[in-house]
Amino acid sequence: MEPANNTALPLYCVAEAELAAWRHAQPPSVRQWLDCNAFRAEPGRWLILPDGNGEPAGVVAGVGGSAPNAHHWFWLAAGLADRLPPGRYQLASTTADATLFMLGWQYGSYRYCRYRTRSTAAPRPELAPGRDVDLRYVEAATHATQLARDLVNTPANDLGPAELAQAARDLAATQHGSVEVLEGAALQAGYPLVAAVGRGSPRAPRLIDLRLPHPGAPRVTLVGKGVCFDSGGLDIKPAAGMLLMKKDMGGAAAALATAQLLRELQVRVDLRVLLPAVENSVDGESFRPGDVWPSRQGLTVEIGNTDAEGRLVLADALTAAGDGEPDLVIDFATLTGAARIALGAELPAAYSGDPELLAGLAAHGSRLADPIWPMPLWDGYEDELASRVADLNNAPTGTLGGSITAALFLRRFVGQPARWIHLDLHAWNGKERPGRPVGAEAQCVRAVAAFLQQRCG
């Protein structure tokens, strides 16, 4: 398929409304070829275009609707990177965002092969960067999203709290930062809810505190839920519910990846990353339903369900995140199935005490095909958190509005809710599609980095 002179074949990306005009501009032989193949500009459909000698002269791909948006361009590129024959291509469309298209192509080229004993990697198509592509951004965003996906895809036997701490140390080493890890008595004293959740595992819980300083710059703290495996604890999950629980540290992966992207883009931000890292397991030391535990903030929490552990570890970390009153706190967490029921796997739920923060983040997500969906912190559900024996309960007895009540629980531990964003994400793609293999997704990383880049300069 690859041309003999190794020149890049033009790649025409055509929307349905543009197809007739584009077809009319082609030579008669190409028009006949399109008709013979009944080509339509349906999303993801593509066709190799021959020259007069029957050699490949280019590729046309369908974008779909009359007004393609960032989502269409990004995932079209990801799919083409997975489906086109090996060769070298160059985007010929003038309507696509060339940088976003290039990034989508790189995203679709990702494969996780750590545990393959034999190399199965086949030659893959290559996209030549055009003059309009911001290669620095594409490379930085590709590295960051690969980091997040690699961490989430790694099985729990090879990625526990200690390995997550090492990932933070590796990032600190490359970005001139520092890491402090609290364990044992120090963790029990400073982060009692984190210690409680991790009691049942032989792999000790810890609080990972990564600093990437930039004196004088706006101060931002990222918090990532680092539950490296979630059995549910004594309120144990059914077998099917545990199959994907290696991904329950997807929030921590997203926080680390966002920090890396901000540093590689040299965004002027004084950054702190807090990762409560635990395994929610079962043994005689496990925390129990009905227990009452103190929090770092001082509020006491009754344990209504040990499978609502993510909000517990985040509560202590969010309290610490408010130290020194940073300009913004953002937490990432694979927190609730309720968010997935409401919005599906591809659309993270977002909460904040300031609707303008959510609107700004959503705008960047839409522009970068990395969406979020603003959700309400509905005060009317506050009474769902009530406890008869403690300050609040970690698991409301009702079955409705679970993502909202989880966010309301977290808000109790946030010093300044108007400077806080909570992201309830899935971090996983469960449906095999071109350019989207079943496995980890790096959700919210690019959107949050762009949002902070605009705010911090």
Which are the catalytic amino acids?
A: 237, 311
b/e 171-197 (16+ beta carbons within 10 angstroms → b): bbeeeebebebbbeeebeeebbbbbbb
In angstroms, the CA 421 to CA 281 distance is: 29
In angstroms, the CA 168 to CA 390 distance is: 35
List all residues 6 or more positions away from 7 whose beta carbon is below 8 Å from its beta carbon. Answer: 88
DSSP string computed for 105-116: HHHHT----TT-
Closest CA to 331 of 318, 347, 345: 318
In angstroms, the CA 81 to CA 103 distance is: 11
The total number of residues written for the chain in this structure = 457
List all residues 6 or more positions away from 388 whose beta carbon is below 8 Å from its beta carbon. Answer: 302
In angstroms, the CA 169 to CA 183 distance is: 16
Q: Which residue has the tokens 């890049």?
A: 8
Q: Which residue has the tokens 């025409």?
A: 12
Q: Are 44 and 62 in contact (CB under 8 A)?
A: yes
Q: In 26-105, which ranges are E strands?
A: 46-50, 56-64, 88-91
| Amino acid in the structure at residue 415 | G
> If you ran DSSP here, which 8-state letter would residue 218 be given?
P
Which two structure tokens, joined as six digits, stand for 221? Answer: 């703290």
- Using a 10 angstrom Cβ sphere, with 0-12 exposed, 13-18 middle and 19 or more buried, the burial of residue 430 is exposed
CA distances from 120 to 107, 114, 147 (A): 19, 12, 21
- Using a 10 angstrom Cβ sphere, with 0-12 exposed, 13-18 middle and 19 or more buried, the burial of residue 388 is exposed
- Cα angle 249, 272, 367; round to 5: 70
- CA torsion sign, 380 to 344 to 110 to 86? negative
Q: Are 317 and 265 in contact (CB under 8 A)?
A: no
